[in-house]
Amino acid sequence: MLVDLHCHSNVSDGLLPPAEVSRRAAGNGVELLALTDHDDVAGLSEARAAAEERGMRFIDGSEISVSWRDDASFHVVGLGIDPGSAILLGGLQSIRDGRDGRAHRIAGELEKCGIHGAYEGAARYAEKASIISRAHFARFLVERKISPDVKSVFDHYLAKGKPGYVPHEWASLEEALRWIGNAGGVAVLAHPLRYRVSRDELRVFLGEFRDRGGQGIEVACGAHSADEVKESARLARHFGLKASVASDFHGPGESYADLGRAPPLPDDLVPIWRDLI
Ligand code: AMP
Ligand code: MN
Ligand code: MN
Ligand code: MN
């Protein structure tokens, strides 16, 4: 079965409306899809309707931004969540509420680099979205020809340690896991090898994640090289976590992988979706 359990629509920082994400996934042969917009569930009903119209199975999801220890952040994907859960909705709203102030602080840092109007510019790219993400800033900086593409904006301005980066307090791990659990979902660590933490810190995080009820880890991830898929598979085995498949698609031409085009999953791992369909 062709599975993709991590992607974005223009409800967060993807480029396509939710229904178009589902249609594109169906066109790529995906049979089981989860939409996982950052810190929101607003696109799920539209995406589900379009998915089911095309005969695809659909899982409700969201990718939750988490702060951990001093200054690390992780993304935890909730899958099989009830999008009507009041506790989950309240939690996601609290994260979204913090994003606007952060966007102003990012724009303030970019202003110091001589880049003017970045808040308004990013907000324009986020017109249909319920959040402003760094991806929206990146698109504006590309438009202004400050960098040639989104990736180089991150490398020079928006990644941790770069001049436009600002620290931010997201949800705690405990909160994210509680919201997902209350909504009847399972928690999956997104793109485990894409965080700016040491391997030792990643292992400490994964131990805590698993001990607090986290159940899965993205192994076959669009942003992972073949070696990184193998390393994530070792982490899944070591921590007894189920494995997920994730393109992390944001839009045509902007992502490592198109919908349904994540690398294959090593076949000894337990797929996270077995219990969800
Ligand atoms: P935020 O949640 O506002 O911190 O933005 C995070 C988003 O920025 C991710 O979900 C990606 O969409 C995008 N992003 C982060 N790092 C990169 C990168 N190196 N290249 C391209 N996009 C990135
Ligand atoms: Mn994103
Ligand atoms: Mn992410
Ligand atoms: Mn993502």
The tens digit of pLDDT for each residue in 2-48 reads 999 999 999 999 999 999 999 999 999 999 999 999 999 999 999 99
CB atoms within 10 A of CB 222: 24
From the CA of 75, the nearest ligand is 3
Fold entry, domain 3-92+168-275: TIM Barrel (3.20.20)
pTM given for the model: 0.98
Instruction: Give tens-digit pLDDT for 175-223.
Output: 999 999 999 999 999 999 999 999 999 999 999 999 999 999 999 999 9
135 lines ligand 1 (CB under 6 A): yes
Alpha-carbon distance 161 to 155, whole Å? Answer: 10
7-44 in b/e form (b: 16+ CB < 10 A) is bbbbbbbbbbbbbbbbbbbbebebebbbbbbbbbbbbb
Separation of CA 77 and ligand 2 centre (Å): 12
Q: Whose CA is nearest to atom 11 of ligand 1?
A: 135
Is the C-beta atom of 133 inside 6 A of ligand 1?
Answer: yes
Please work out, in degrees rounded to the nearest 5, the angle formed at the alpha carbon of residue 170 by the alpha carbons of 210 and 223: 65
Sign of CA dihedral 224, 227, 261, 213: negative
Mean predicted lDDT score pLDDT of the chain: 97
| d(C-alpha 110, C-alpha 267), whole Å | 46
Ligand 1 pocket mutation pick from 13, 147, 218 by most atoms within 8 angstroms of CB: 13
- Beta carbon of 13 within 6 Å of any ligand 1 atom: yes
pLDDT at position 70, please?
87
Using a 6 Å cutoff on CB, does residue 102 contact ligand 1?
no
- CB of residue 151 inside a 6 A radius of ligand 1: yes
Give the number of the atom of ligand 1 that is nearest the alpha carbon of residue 131.
Answer: 3
**Domain positions in the chain:** 3-92+168-275, 106-158
106 in contact with ligand 1, CB cutoff 6 A? no
Q: Judge whether 3-92+168-275 and 106-158 match in fold.
A: no
Mean pLDDT, residues 87-107: 98
Question: Relative to the CA of 254, which ligand 1 atom is closest?
Answer: 21
Which protein residue's CA is at the shortest distance from atom 2 of ligand 1? 133
Q: Which fold has domain 106-158?
A: DNA polymerase; domain 1 (1.10.150)
How far is it, in rounded angstroms, from Cα 35 to Cα 234? 26
pLDDT per position as a tens digit, 115-159:
999 999 999 999 999 999 999 999 999 999 999 999 999 999 999
Report the pLDDT averaged over residues 259-274: 97
